A and B are shown apart, each in its own frame.
Chain A
Amino acid sequence: MTAVSVAQGMRDFASRRVSAMSLWHWFVFLVVGGFVMTPLVFLVLGSFSLAELPTDISLSNLGFANYEEVWWDPDTYRVLNNTVIYTTGATAFGITLAAVLAWLVERTNIPGKIWIYAGVPMTLAMPGMLQAMAWVLLLSPRIGFLNRWAQALLGLESAPINIYSLEGMIFIEGLRLVPTAFLMLVPLLRAMDPALEEAAAMSGATPQATMRRVTLRLMIPGLLAVVIYQAMTALEVFEVPGILGLPSGIYVFSTKIYSILHSVSTLPAYGQANALAMIYVFIAVGATYLYARVISHSERFTIITGKGYRPRELDIGRWRGWALGLVGLFLTFSIILPFLVLLFVSFLPYLQQPVWAAFQSMSFEHYETLWRAPMIRTVMWNTLIMVVLTSTLTVIVSFFVSLVIVRSKFWGRRILDQMAFMPHAIPGIVMGLAFLWVFLQAGKYGIPIHGGIWAISLAFTVGFMAYGTRSMNAAILQIHKDLEEAAQVSGARQWRTMWRIFYPLMLPTFVGVWIWAMLHAVRIAGKPLILYEGAENQVLAILIWNMWDEGNIEGVGAIGALMIAGLLIITLGLRLMGFGRGTAIQKDAGNN
């Protein structure tokens, strides 16, 4: 072998290596790693910080005092107990209800299916925070409208239901979980070949045995993925336990962290909040691992045969009315009743029971105030920018992450996938806290990100990546590689392949993820509560939270009614335009 050929061989080898370890894969990996892991590192570091404020952290001022303070406190274990009960209960209630609804529309002859398909996901437009606030007005033990009516009607001495309880929190959070779980379960049921169930029936199995041995077993991997995802969602949510648990002193971890950071009479104990938040880091690591395992084993369960597939409808006979009633009840509890309650209080001069005198005193006073207040315009503008930024960033980042995960042979693609999922398991309030530390440190080095809209948008994007990549992974998997190869063989450049092949095929998923991110960014208060600094980055969710906290219930009613109506119109409009049909999450769940 001559020297020239050896040199040529080395050059080829080097170029192959560079190609295999494509730079942009590394870029995506490092960006995601940076945005997920850096906050978590600071969260850990901050848990040892004994400084009064995050700005004063230094290596010479670290210790275990925060851990001793929070983990020696017996209350912490009561909070742990509450958190377990709340998460388990809400997940069980939400998924059971969603499964029943999904089964009714997919496998039975319930009437009005088209309305149920449209109606259940529409409840996504109802922010959990407003839902909880509305239920306080309905079921507060002393002033709840429904409780008062029940007491008057039944002659009861005390209120029959107390919404300020763990059960109340489970009920509301369970309702909140239903639409997403429904969207995830419908494709699972649809994709399952009924021939398998029919075969079981032909073999003499009872319907119960068929359900237990065939239907449920086929659904297990997908169902497990849904359960983990939803449990993480319940664990992550701050608004519902914040509205229902805080007034009565029923704490879960996210609200305890919030209360440590929002002490009324003293400076917040940031270090203690971090030490307490460590439990979420462990849960996030465990849940991510478990989720990855469940997903990786799901291919064992082939549920689509591709031959003779025809959905079978079970005749539920006289139960159709009851089934329809259940759907109606869900929609009433989830959206109709809360919306009507908020609308009612929005017209009142002060909070009153819905009696004739209250209706007589109604006016548009609160709407007029909202219209005239300059602060509202600032908040709306901030919210618009934040939502557009967040949704767009979520789509772009998730797409490139998924491209690496699904289409490349990059060595770190599984780690990348897990890193993208991990923030979902960490409550917004904790991720907000983690980002607070990062942004404050960034400020020291002249990066003025804290206190701006970017801070909230970045934190949201990192949190929404889990959903975005789950959806994108599924969508990219469905685009066969042959299409790209055909384009390349025809001489198309990579960007042109992207534009002409990927973009049109991915468009429904892009729009689906964009809408999902928009709906969530506009209503979640956890992260913004920690990251907002003032008027410059105050968003709608913060305004509503603060107004509720200071007792401006009628103002919340006005702004809440407008917000729900706006979100419903947007959701409905986009669905009518066809973007919502068969979007990401359905495909995702279907592939899981």
Chain B
Amino acid sequence: MPKWIRSVFCSLAIAVSVAALSGMLAFAAQAAELPKATKDMLAVLKLDASILDGLDQELKVPASWIARAKKEQPVRYYGNFALDEWLIFYKPFQARYPFIKINHSRTSRVGRVEKSLIAFKQGRVFADIIAAIGPGIKPFREAGALVDLRDIPNFTLAHPKMRDKDGLWVGEKLKYWCMAYNTTLLKEKDLPKRWEDILTTKILHKGNIGISNRPHNWILPLWNTNGEAWTRNFIHGLFSTARPQLRKEGARALVVLTIAGEFHAAIPATPYRVAGYAKKGAPIGWHCPEPVPVTISTLVVIKGGRAPYAAKVFINWFLSKEGQLAQYVSTKASPVHKDLQDKGLVQYGDKIKGLKIALRTPESLIRVFPGVLKVWNDGWMKAGGPMAAKTIIKVKTVLTAVKRGGRRLAFKVKGGEHKAKVSRSRTEVLIGGKPGSRGKLKVGMACEIAYLGDGNEARKIACK
């Protein structure tokens, strides 16, 4: 071997060794710099520290931001972390930025959106950061209430579909809105493969599904993907054939009620809410018919807040790998960071692997949602949802009791006894096809009764 080759080889060997050694040292140095809370988090997730490569770069913000943030009051963050979740999420941030205090409040959507909008219009700001603003993005945008977030270094780390082109919002997490089911009441084979299968899966009918009045979470993405005609038919079939329980509670409450057995399944439900209870041993599972409705939960910063720089530092951290992992470890919500998309950080990931995605963007909330809401509200109300007119039910039955001269009737409906009131003026009574009076109704008569449900007034009684 020529001498020069040997010397080049030796030099290369030394260089590689030095590079490897310095790489190892650098790695060791980075790992050592991680706060204990972050290390604990990685341990819980069983992830290697290398997943946080490039974190230092991500956490870099202008020095002036930090200087100003140190002088600002606590950031008021109106989000949706549960009490215990926030304690876990906040730890790594607190360790890294002990001089910035974040006061998190979990409030209803009305508290987060309407009240803060009213306050802003009055020149008051009581929330610096608001999460999950949903359809409220439109009035906020119109009121000029939102800070442009494009100068936050990590803004671009979110997928382009997960941030606003004008910089007024950025995604904080991905939500997959499907169904939670009680594992003792439903078997996997009973679960619908596609959404329309719900209409033909009888075990899910007649009050065995609980549905909350939140069409923007799942119906809107389905409308976006499957189109208006499909969605109209689905909504109609859902309310008329599946006849779910229409609930006023939110998504998390529906999961709790499913565990308790109030219904077999709840729609919509996110995997991260279900996973938390499943981990505690609750009889709950998560399943997704195709396509998978996905929404982006948004973060916005309100103009005129008392801690604008601290808020930006916080959001920058939130969007970093560390912030996104902290969110995942505390709530099990899927991250929006582009480098964390294929790391298996999705609860029940196997349930949605390979399925088609139905995405809801904040833009579709503004443009498409009003039309969706109209169709949904119509179905919801006709099905007896809050403030709905009751639907007239027709049954063929035999009268089992006639009381107070025909004013009160009892009859069997599917094994149970129903009662109906008979009005002299409003109830049409036909006996043998001819107009009759309620006084002529007798026990044992075979009748077709149109009424507003058990205990309500009959509209028409036709007896043989």
Give Cα A106–Cα B306 distance, bound, in whole angstroms. 61
Partner of A246, one of B118, B248, B260: B248
For A534, list chain B residues within 8 Å (CB): 76, 78, 105, 107, 111, 115-116, 126-127
Given contacts A370-B83, A375-B83, contact A549 B108 (CB under 8 A): yes
If A350-B282, A551-B256 are given as contacts, then 15 extra A-B residue pairs at C-beta distance below 8 Å, sorted by A number, are A55-B121, A55-B122, A158-B416, A249-B384, A264-B109, A265-B215, A267-B139, A350-B277, A372-B87, A443-B124, A533-B116, A535-B76, A546-B106, A549-B249, A550-B250
Say yes or no for B373: interface residue by CB 8 A criterion.
Answer: yes
Encode contact with B along A251-286: 1 for CB under 8 Å, 0 otherwise. 100001001011011111000000000000000000
Q: Is A376 an interface residue (CB 8 A)?
A: yes
Q: Is the CB of A74 within 8 A of B389?
A: yes
**Chain A residue at smallest Cβ distance from B255:** A551
Tell me the bound Cα distance from A451 to B122 in angstroms: 12
- Complex Cα spacing A259 to B76, Å: 27
B443 located at the interface, meaning its Cβ lies under 8 Å from any Cβ of chain A in the complex? no
Query: Scoring A residues 365 to 392 as 1 if CB is less than 8 Å from chain B, else 0, what string do you get?
Result: 1000110111110100000000000000
8 residue pairs A–B, Cβ–Cβ below 8 Å: A143-B257, A256-B387, A262-B110, A351-B259, A375-B86, A450-B119, A451-B124, A551-B255
Interface residues on A, range: 35 or more
Is the CB of A33 closer than 8 A to any CB of chain B?
A: no
Q: Which parts of B228-284 form the interface with A (CB within 8 Å)?
A: 246-250, 252-257, 259-263, 277, 280-282
- Which residues from B are CB-within-8-Å of A247? 247-249
Expressed in whole angstroms, the minimum distance between the Cβ of A503 and any Cβ of chain B is 40
B156 to chain A, nearest CB (A): 31
Q: A350 is contacted by which of B122, B256, B388, B415 (Cβ under 8 Å)? A: B256
- A-B contacts counted at CB < 8 A amount to 156
Cβ of B421 within 8 Å of any chain A Cβ, yes or no, is: no
User: Is B261 within 8 A of A142, CB to CB?
Assistant: yes
Rounded to whole Å, the gap between the CB of B206 and the closest CB of chain A is 12
Which 9 pairs of residues, A with B, have the shortest CB-CB distance? A551-B253, A551-B256, A535-B105, A373-B83, A349-B280, A143-B260, A350-B282, A351-B260, A551-B252
- Give A546 to B80 CA distance when docked, in angstroms: 11
Cα separation A445 to B197 with both chains bound (whole Å) = 58
Least Cβ distance of B371 to chain A in Å? 12
Q: Do A551 and B257 form a contact, CB below 8 Å, given A370-B83, A535-B76? A: yes
8 Å CB contact of B281 from A256, A265, A361 = A361
Check if A552 sits within 8 Å of B82, measured CB to CB: yes
Considering only CB atoms, which chain B residue lies closest to A255 in the complex?
A: B386
* CB nearest to A379 among chain B residues: B105
The reply to whether A535 and B103 form a contact with Cβ atoms under 8 Å apart is yes
- Residue in A closest to B280 when the chains form the complex, CB atoms: A349
- Chain B residues whose CB sits within 8 angstroms of the CB of A369 once the complex forms: 83-84, 87
Is B96 close to A, CB under 8 A? no
Chain B residue contacts of A370, Cβ below 8 A: 83
CA distance A549 to B127 in the complex (A): 22
B419 is an interface residue with CB less than 8 A from chain A: no
* Complex CA distance for A352 and B415, rounded to whole angstroms: 29
- Whether, in the assembled complex, B39 has its beta carbon less than 8 Å from a beta carbon of chain A, the answer is no
Identify which of residues 391-420 in chain B touch chain A, using a CB-to-CB cut-off of 8 Å. Answer: 415-416
**Min CB gap B318→A, angstroms:** 18
* B104 adjacent to chain A (CB < 8 Å): yes
Q: State how many angstroms separate the Cβ of B170 from the closest Cβ of chain A.
A: 22
In the complex, whether A140 has a CB less than 8 A from a CB of chain B is yes
In the bound complex, residues from chain A placing their C-beta under 8 Å from that of B108 are 262, 546, 549-550
- Give the chain B neighbours of A533 by CB distance below 8 A: 111, 115-116, 119, 126
Q: Known contacts A264-B213, A448-B124, A551-B254; decide if A249 and B386 are in contact (CB<8 Å).
A: yes
Question: What is the CA–CA distance of A546 and B78 in the complex, to the nearest angstrom?
Answer: 14
How many residues on chain B are close to A (CB under 8 Å)? Answer: 64
Asked if A532 is an interface residue, CB under 8 A from chain B, the answer is: yes
Write out the residue numbers on chain B whose beta carbons fall within 8 Å of the beta carbon of A372: 87
Q: B441 contacts the other chain (Cβ, under 8 Å)? A: no
Residues of A within 8 A of B104 (CB): 375
Contact B281 A349 (CB under 8 A): yes
Most buried by A among B78, B105, B263, B385: B105
How far, in angstroms, from A75 to B118 measured CA to CA in the complex?
29
Chain A nearest Cβ from B185, distance in angstroms: 11
Chain A residues with CB under 8 Å of B127's CB are: 534
Residues of B within 8 A of A268 (CB): 110, 114
| A535 partner residues in chain B, CB cutoff 8 A | 76, 103, 105, 126
Residues of B within 8 A of A550 (CB): 106, 108, 249-250, 252-253
- Residues of chain A with a CB closer than 8 A to B249's CB: 247, 549-551
Is residue B332 contacting chain A, with contact meaning CB distance below 8 A? no
A553 touches which one: B105, B109, B256 (CB < 8 A)? B256
Q: Is the Cβ of B105 less than 8 Å from the Cβ of A375?
A: yes
Q: Taking the complex as formed, is B214 at the interface, i.e. its CB lies under 8 A from any CB of chain A?
A: yes
A336 is an interface residue with CB less than 8 A from chain B: no
B287 CB-CB contact with A under 8 Å: no
- Residues of B near A142 (CB, < 8 A) are 260-263
B-side contacts of A508, CB under 8 Å? none
B135 within 8 A of A: yes
Complex alpha-carbon distance, A266 and B377, angstroms = 11
Q: Does A54 contact B (CB under 8 A)?
A: yes
In the complex, B117 has a CB within 8 A of chain A: yes
**Chain A minimum-CB-distance residue to B216:** A265
User: Does any Cβ of B come within 8 Å of A505's Cβ?
Assistant: no
Expressed in whole angstroms, the minimum distance between the Cβ of A143 and any Cβ of chain B is 4
Among A55, A532, A555, the one with the most B-chain Cβ atoms within 10 Å of its Cβ is A55
In this assembly, does A292 line the interface, its C-beta being within 8 Å of a C-beta of chain B?
Answer: no
Contact with A along B196-220 (1 / 0, CB 8 A): 0000000000000000011110000
Q: Which of A157, A378, A448, A548 contacts B103 (CB 8 A)?
A: A378
A536 interfacial contact with B, CB 8 Å: yes
Judged by a CB distance under 8 angstroms, whether A482 is at the interface is no
Residue in A264, A350, A376 whose beta carbon sits within 8 Å of that of B214 in the complex = A264
B388, closest chain A residue (CB)? A249
